[in-house]
Amino acid sequence: MDQLNRLPLSGLRAAEAIGRLGTLRAAADALGITPGAVSQRLQALETVTGRPLFIRGPQGMTPTELGAEMLPHLQAGFARLSDAATVLRPDTCSLTISAAPLLASRWLIWRLSDFEAENPEIRIRIEPTDRIVDLRVEDVDLCLRIGRKPWPGLDCERLHLYSYFPVCAPSLLPRLSSPADLAQVPLIRERDHLESWEAWLAAEGLALGDMQPGPDHGDAGLCLDAAMTGRGVAIAWDTIAADPLARGTLVRPFPRRVTTGLAIWLVGMPGTLSRTAPRRFAAWLRARLASERASWETA
């Protein structure tokens, strides 16, 4: 503690924000002050340490060797302070989640009330977007991304590997005794995203080119809705089809599932999951996906 008393707390906060966000402007926005004030606080800290902590460049602020050694300790320390603030002021804790729109609207939003019931002190805000959010500069705590591999420089955890399968309205089921019967009904296609249909048909020894034309939409959600209206057979995956299958508005005519490598990833800045709210949300999400996965795989 004697060493800590020598250092200006405002300077430590500025250094942590700069190291986490990469620019004076982003740090200023996070701290609610001007970039000039952030620079002054950093200079005060560097005056005490007697050595520079960051190198200023056209692309932002790059930690020096000393700065890089210091930052993990600062991030862990301020994460613990954030936890303490949550305990003292539980009504002010919030968590912003960036998620793919279909995952957010067709699966996550219908289950969030369970998380909120277990964690009433945490307010969840969902930002639905297909854009790759820059966690260094944007006001987002965690991302639920759909992809095939981790993103460099971030903490990435694969939560669920998507599997694909045909779905249709119950009224079409009598026409589908075997996968070859798909050639006799319209196949609903998501424009520019045909790899899941191609992979599933190939596993059955069939080809997409041998199928008859069907509705062609630019959105997977519309394809699923079209299948529910009986307009044809769509290719779907676990999270988007889980609730319609449970309600009986969709059925699976065939048992085969295929994977294309796409998965749900939980993504955050290094150290984010050391904070209470992100850690609780991540634990709930893992448990929820694990509990539903068992029913998906046997449906």
Scanning the structure block, which residue is given the tokens 């520019």? 192
What pLDDT does residue 87 have? Answer: 60
Do 97-162+262-298 and 168-246 share a fold? yes
Helix/strand/coil for 200: helix
Phi, psi of 72 (to 5 degrees): -60, -35
Residues paired with residue 122 on neighbouring β-strands, in sequence order = 93
Say if domain 2-88 classifies as CATH 1.10.10.10: yes
Identity of residue 127: E
Q: Cα 290 vs. chain centroid, distance in angstroms?
A: 16
Cβ within 8 Å of residue 256, ≥6 positions away: 165, 179, 200, 203, 204
How is residue 151 written in tokens? 């993103």
Helix/strand/coil for 104: helix
What are the residue boundaries of the structural domains of the chain, listed by start?
Answer: 2-88, 97-162+262-298, 168-246
- DSSP letters, 234-287, are EEEEHHHHHHHHHHTSSB-SS---B--S-EEEEEE-TTGGGSHHHHHHHHHHHH
3-state class percentages of the chain: helix first, strand second, coil last, to nearest 5? 50, 20, 30
Q: 247: how many CB neighbours lie within 10 A of its CB?
A: 9
CA atoms within 13 A on the CB side of 29: 10
Architecture in CATH of 168-246: 3-Layer(aba) Sandwich (3.40)
How is residue 186 written in tokens? 């319209």
First CA to last CA across the chain, in angstroms?
58
Superfamily designation of domain 97-162+262-298:
Periplasmic binding protein-like II (3.40.190.10)
Q: What is the pLDDT along the chain (299 residues), one digit of tens a residue?
A: 456 667 888 889 999 999 988 998 888 887 878 888 889 999 999 998 899 999 988 888 999 999 999 899 888 888 777 766 656 554 557 899 999 999 999 999 999 999 999 999 899 999 999 888 888 778 899 999 999 988 988 999 999 999 999 999 999 999 999 999 999 999 999 988 889 999 999 999 999 988 988 888 988 999 999 999 999 999 999 999 999 999 999 999 999 999 999 999 999 999 899 888 999 999 999 999 999 988 776 65
Cβ within 8 Å of residue 87, ≥6 positions away: none
Contact 200, 166 (CB under 8 A): yes
Cβ burial, residue 65 (10 Å; 0-12/13-18/19+): exposed
